[in-house]
Amino acid sequence: MSIKTVSGRQYPLVAKLPIIFSDIELTDTTVAQVGFNLPGGSTVIGGSIVVSTAFNSSGGVPVDTLEVGDYINPNRYTASAVDLTSLGRTDLDLTGYETVGGTTIDVIWANGTATTLPTAGEAYVEIVYVQEDRANENVPG
């Protein structure tokens, strides 16, 4: 057997999901919300959660957090929940998982035992992915 070179090259695809405090309802807490639809054969190769305005739920023990995963593993891309009360960028955990059929990347927002919704907060989730058997260009071999 000889290894055959592959001439196809593809650009990574980028999807961005904004998360704004005014879009959140108390019924959303700890419930998976669809963030992205991905075609089968997709693999996330990068991404992050970026908090540009801190979230500020109050009452009880407020801890605004976000997890990113899918229907099989709700925290596949965040080994631990990401704190939304501090500004910054947190890289997603890359697993090499390839989606089967069309699937979704889901987000789960939680606010601990807070009794009120945040009155401020803005973040986004960005994923970078590639698709199996896709090529944008060919490089002569």
Q: Could you write out the DSSP letters of every residue in 3-52?
A: PPP--EE-PPEEEEEEEEGGG--GGGTT--EEEEEE-TTEEEEEEEEEEE
* Cα–Cα distance for residue pair 33/98, rounded to 1 Å: 20
Q: Which pLDDT score is estimated for 124?
A: 97
Q: What is the pLDDT, as a whole number, of residue 28?
A: 64
CATH of domain 9-132: 2.60.120
pLDDT band at 115; cut points 50, 70, 90: confident
Is the confidence at residue 103, as pLDDT, over 90? no
Q: How far apart are the first and last CA of the chain?
A: 18
Tokens found for residue 108: 């789960």
Query: What confidence tens digit (pLDDT) does each residue in 50-70 have?
Result: 999 999 988 767 688 999 999
Task: Give the model's pLDDT for residue 111.
Answer: 80
Burial zone of 39 (CB within 10 Å; 0-12 exposed, 13-18 middle, 19+ buried): middle
- The proportion of the chain whose per-residue pLDDT surpasses 90, expressed as a percent, equals 55
Instruction: Output the pTM of the full model.
Output: 0.88
The domains of the chain are located at: 9-132
DSSP conformation class of 113: T
* pLDDT tens for each residue of 75-100: 999 999 999 999 999 999 999 999 88
Flag whether pLDDT at 141 surpasses 70: no
- C-alpha 119/C-alpha 111 separation (Å) is 13
